[in-house]
Chains A and B, each alone.
Chain A
Amino acid sequence: AQKVTQAQTEISVVEKEDVTLDCVYETRDTTYYLFWYKQPPSGELVFLIRRNSFDEQNEISGRYSWNFQKSTSSFNFTITASQVVDSAVYFCALSELMETSGSRLTFGEGTQLTVNP
Protein backbone atom coordinates (compact mmCIF):
# COMPACT_ATOMS: atom_id res chain seq x y z
CA ALA A 1 0.00 0.00 0.00
CA GLN A 2 1.13 3.50 -0.70
CA LYS A 3 1.89 5.88 2.10
CA VAL A 4 2.95 9.49 2.41
CA THR A 5 4.33 10.88 5.64
CA GLN A 6 4.60 14.54 6.44
CA ALA A 7 6.09 14.43 9.89
CA GLN A 8 5.82 18.18 10.51
CA THR A 9 2.27 18.94 11.57
CA GLU A 10 2.86 22.65 12.06
CA ILE A 11 5.71 25.01 11.30
CA SER A 12 5.92 28.64 12.29
CA VAL A 13 8.54 30.99 10.87
CA VAL A 14 9.18 34.68 10.66
CA GLU A 15 8.92 36.40 7.32
CA LYS A 16 12.05 36.13 5.13
CA GLU A 17 13.19 32.92 6.76
CA ASP A 18 13.75 29.85 4.60
CA VAL A 19 11.62 26.83 5.46
CA THR A 20 11.69 23.20 4.32
CA LEU A 21 8.66 20.94 4.39
CA ASP A 22 9.50 17.26 4.54
CA CYS A 23 7.77 14.46 2.66
CA VAL A 24 8.64 10.78 2.79
CA TYR A 25 6.76 8.22 0.73
CA GLU A 26 6.39 4.46 0.40
CA THR A 27 5.43 2.59 -2.74
CA ARG A 28 6.17 -0.69 -4.47
CA ASP A 29 5.61 0.79 -7.90
CA THR A 30 8.63 1.51 -10.06
CA THR A 31 6.77 4.23 -11.91
CA TYR A 32 4.94 6.80 -9.86
CA TYR A 33 4.31 10.51 -9.58
CA LEU A 34 4.75 12.87 -6.69
CA PHE A 35 2.90 16.11 -6.16
CA TRP A 36 2.78 19.10 -3.87
CA TYR A 37 -0.41 21.08 -3.32
CA LYS A 38 -1.08 24.24 -1.36
CA GLN A 39 -4.34 24.77 0.52
CA PRO A 40 -4.82 28.40 1.57
CA PRO A 41 -7.50 29.34 4.11
CA SER A 42 -10.06 29.58 1.29
CA GLY A 43 -9.93 25.77 1.05
CA GLU A 44 -9.26 25.14 -2.62
CA LEU A 45 -6.17 23.05 -3.29
CA VAL A 46 -3.67 24.63 -5.66
CA PHE A 47 -1.28 22.50 -7.68
CA LEU A 48 2.40 23.35 -7.20
CA ILE A 49 4.45 20.63 -8.84
CA ARG A 50 4.40 17.13 -10.33
CA ARG A 51 7.48 14.96 -10.53
CA ASN A 52 7.76 11.47 -12.04
CA SER A 53 9.89 8.78 -10.49
CA PHE A 54 12.43 8.81 -13.30
CA ASP A 55 13.26 12.47 -13.00
CA GLU A 56 15.40 13.18 -9.96
CA GLN A 57 16.50 16.57 -11.10
CA ASN A 58 15.75 19.22 -8.54
CA GLU A 59 13.43 21.98 -9.61
CA ILE A 60 13.27 25.65 -8.78
CA SER A 61 10.35 27.95 -9.43
CA GLY A 62 10.87 31.42 -8.06
CA ARG A 63 11.12 31.13 -4.28
CA TYR A 64 10.03 27.48 -4.38
CA SER A 65 12.36 24.54 -4.83
CA TRP A 66 11.95 20.79 -4.60
CA ASN A 67 14.49 18.13 -3.72
CA PHE A 68 13.62 14.62 -4.92
CA GLN A 69 15.82 11.90 -3.44
CA LYS A 70 14.77 8.48 -4.65
CA SER A 71 17.38 6.77 -2.46
CA THR A 72 15.67 8.06 0.68
CA SER A 73 12.13 8.16 -0.77
CA SER A 74 11.84 11.83 -0.01
CA PHE A 75 10.41 14.77 -1.89
CA ASN A 76 11.07 17.87 0.18
CA PHE A 77 9.83 21.36 -0.53
CA THR A 78 11.72 24.53 0.36
CA ILE A 79 10.39 28.06 0.39
CA THR A 80 13.10 30.69 0.30
CA ALA A 81 12.54 34.09 1.88
CA SER A 82 9.09 33.15 3.10
CA GLN A 83 6.23 35.63 2.95
CA VAL A 84 3.00 35.97 4.91
CA VAL A 85 1.07 34.90 1.79
CA ASP A 86 2.84 31.54 1.97
CA SER A 87 0.81 30.69 5.06
CA ALA A 88 -1.26 27.64 4.17
CA VAL A 89 -1.48 23.90 4.58
CA TYR A 90 0.85 22.09 2.20
CA PHE A 91 0.17 18.55 1.04
CA CYS A 92 2.53 16.06 -0.48
CA ALA A 93 0.86 13.32 -2.54
CA LEU A 94 1.78 10.11 -4.34
CA SER A 95 -0.08 8.87 -7.40
CA GLU A 96 -0.76 5.33 -8.52
CA LEU A 97 -2.63 4.14 -11.57
CA MET A 98 -5.88 2.31 -10.94
CA GLU A 99 -7.33 -0.53 -12.97
CA THR A 100 -9.97 1.69 -14.53
CA SER A 101 -7.33 4.15 -15.80
CA GLY A 102 -7.97 6.78 -13.18
CA SER A 103 -5.24 7.63 -10.74
CA ARG A 104 -5.41 7.47 -6.97
CA LEU A 105 -3.62 10.15 -5.05
CA THR A 106 -2.48 9.25 -1.58
CA PHE A 107 -2.10 12.44 0.41
CA GLY A 108 0.01 13.10 3.44
CA GLU A 109 -1.64 14.64 6.47
CA GLY A 110 -0.38 18.06 5.51
CA THR A 111 1.88 20.64 7.14
CA GLN A 112 0.38 23.86 8.41
CA LEU A 113 2.85 26.62 7.63
CA THR A 114 2.42 29.95 9.38
CA VAL A 115 4.60 32.85 8.31
CA ASN A 116 4.55 35.68 10.80
CA PRO A 117 5.35 39.28 9.85
Chain B
Amino acid sequence: SQTIHQWPATLVQPVGSPLSLECTVEGTSNPNLYWYRQAAGRGLQLLFYSVGIGQISSEVPQNLSASRPQDRQFILSSKKLLLSDSGFYLCAGEQGPNEKLFFGSGTQLSVL
Protein backbone atom coordinates (compact mmCIF):
# COMPACT_ATOMS: atom_id res chain seq x y z
CA SER B 1 0.00 0.00 0.00
CA GLN B 2 1.06 3.56 -0.57
CA THR B 3 2.58 5.42 2.35
CA ILE B 4 3.82 8.98 2.79
CA HIS B 5 6.51 9.63 5.36
CA GLN B 6 6.67 13.22 6.49
CA TRP B 7 8.88 14.84 9.10
CA PRO B 8 9.27 16.47 11.49
CA ALA B 9 5.91 16.29 13.22
CA THR B 10 6.37 19.67 14.87
CA LEU B 11 8.72 22.53 14.18
CA VAL B 12 9.24 25.88 15.84
CA GLN B 13 11.25 28.37 13.84
CA PRO B 14 12.10 32.05 14.30
CA VAL B 15 11.02 34.60 11.73
CA GLY B 16 13.60 34.95 8.99
CA SER B 17 15.03 31.45 9.36
CA PRO B 18 15.08 28.92 6.50
CA LEU B 19 12.77 25.96 6.20
CA SER B 20 13.02 22.51 4.70
CA LEU B 21 10.23 19.96 5.02
CA GLU B 22 10.62 16.65 3.35
CA CYS B 23 8.27 13.86 2.44
CA THR B 24 9.04 10.52 0.88
CA VAL B 25 6.71 8.01 -0.72
CA GLU B 26 6.66 4.24 -0.45
CA GLY B 27 4.64 1.64 -2.25
CA THR B 28 4.21 3.33 -5.60
CA SER B 29 6.24 4.88 -8.39
CA ASN B 30 5.75 8.07 -10.37
CA PRO B 31 3.02 9.45 -8.12
CA ASN B 32 1.59 12.94 -8.38
CA LEU B 33 2.66 14.75 -5.22
CA TYR B 34 1.12 17.70 -3.42
CA TRP B 35 1.85 20.11 -0.58
CA TYR B 36 -1.17 21.45 1.27
CA ARG B 37 -1.39 23.91 4.13
CA GLN B 38 -4.13 23.87 6.69
CA ALA B 39 -4.74 26.89 8.90
CA ALA B 40 -6.50 26.66 12.25
CA GLY B 41 -7.66 23.08 11.68
CA ARG B 42 -9.88 24.01 8.78
CA GLY B 43 -9.86 23.79 4.98
CA LEU B 44 -6.78 22.76 3.06
CA GLN B 45 -5.08 25.07 0.62
CA LEU B 46 -3.07 23.58 -2.23
CA LEU B 47 0.42 25.10 -2.36
CA PHE B 48 2.38 23.05 -4.89
CA TYR B 49 1.98 19.95 -6.97
CA SER B 50 4.34 17.82 -9.02
CA VAL B 51 3.63 15.26 -11.72
CA GLY B 52 7.26 14.17 -12.08
CA ILE B 53 10.91 14.74 -11.18
CA GLY B 54 11.82 18.40 -11.48
CA GLN B 55 8.25 19.39 -12.40
CA ILE B 56 6.72 21.83 -9.94
CA SER B 57 3.58 23.90 -10.28
CA SER B 58 2.74 26.63 -7.81
CA GLU B 59 -0.84 27.37 -6.93
CA VAL B 60 -0.42 30.39 -4.72
CA PRO B 61 2.33 33.02 -4.92
CA GLN B 62 4.04 33.08 -1.58
CA ASN B 63 7.21 32.84 0.41
CA LEU B 64 7.62 29.11 -0.18
CA SER B 65 9.10 26.92 -2.90
CA ALA B 66 9.05 23.21 -3.66
CA SER B 67 11.36 20.75 -5.34
CA ARG B 68 11.20 17.14 -6.45
CA PRO B 69 14.76 15.86 -6.81
CA GLN B 70 13.71 12.21 -6.92
CA ASP B 71 10.57 10.37 -7.97
CA ARG B 72 9.51 9.67 -4.41
CA GLN B 73 10.86 12.77 -2.69
CA PHE B 74 9.09 16.10 -2.38
CA ILE B 75 10.57 19.04 -0.48
CA LEU B 76 8.99 22.27 0.72
CA SER B 77 11.39 25.13 1.40
CA SER B 78 11.68 28.73 2.37
CA LYS B 79 14.71 31.01 2.52
CA LYS B 80 13.17 33.30 5.14
CA LEU B 81 10.09 32.34 7.11
CA LEU B 82 7.30 34.81 7.85
CA LEU B 83 4.84 34.72 10.73
CA SER B 84 2.11 33.99 8.19
CA ASP B 85 3.84 30.75 7.19
CA SER B 86 2.68 29.13 10.43
CA GLY B 87 0.27 26.27 9.88
CA PHE B 88 -0.15 22.57 9.43
CA TYR B 89 1.58 21.28 6.31
CA LEU B 90 0.48 18.08 4.68
CA CYS B 91 2.19 16.16 1.92
CA ALA B 92 -0.07 14.03 -0.24
CA GLY B 93 0.22 11.71 -3.20
CA GLU B 94 -1.92 10.01 -5.76
CA GLN B 95 -1.22 7.28 -8.25
CA GLY B 96 -3.10 9.07 -11.01
CA PRO B 97 -5.37 12.08 -11.52
CA ASN B 98 -8.66 11.90 -9.65
CA GLU B 99 -7.49 8.88 -7.69
CA LYS B 100 -7.75 9.08 -3.92
CA LEU B 101 -5.08 11.08 -2.17
CA PHE B 102 -2.99 9.41 0.51
CA PHE B 103 -1.63 11.80 3.09
CA GLY B 104 1.35 12.06 5.37
CA SER B 105 0.89 12.72 9.06
CA GLY B 106 1.67 16.41 8.69
CA THR B 107 4.07 18.97 10.16
CA GLN B 108 2.84 21.63 12.57
CA LEU B 109 4.99 24.67 11.87
CA SER B 110 5.06 27.57 14.30
CA VAL B 111 6.94 30.66 13.23
CA LEU B 112 7.69 32.95 16.18
Contact = CB atoms under 8 A, between A and B. Distances in A.
B63 interface: no
B90 interface: yes
Contact of B44 (A91, A100, A103): A91
A43 interface: yes
Nearest to A109: B43
Given A43-B106, A102-B51, A110 B100 contact: no
A27 to B, nearest CB: 13
Interface in B21-49: 32, 34, 41-44, 46, 49
B111 to A, nearest CB: 18
B46 A45 contact: no
Contact of A44 (B32, B59, B103): B103
Contact of A91 (B43, B57, B97): B43
A100 B51 contact: yes
A98 interface: yes
Given A100-B57, A105-B46, A108-B43, A43 B88 contact: yes
Contacts of A104: 46, 49, 59
B102 interface: yes
B105 interface: yes
Which 3 pairs across A and B sit closest by C-beta, in order of nearness? A103-B97, A45-B103, A43-B106
Interface of B: 32, 34, 41-44, 46, 49-51, 55, 57, 59, 88, 90, 92, 94, 97-106, 108
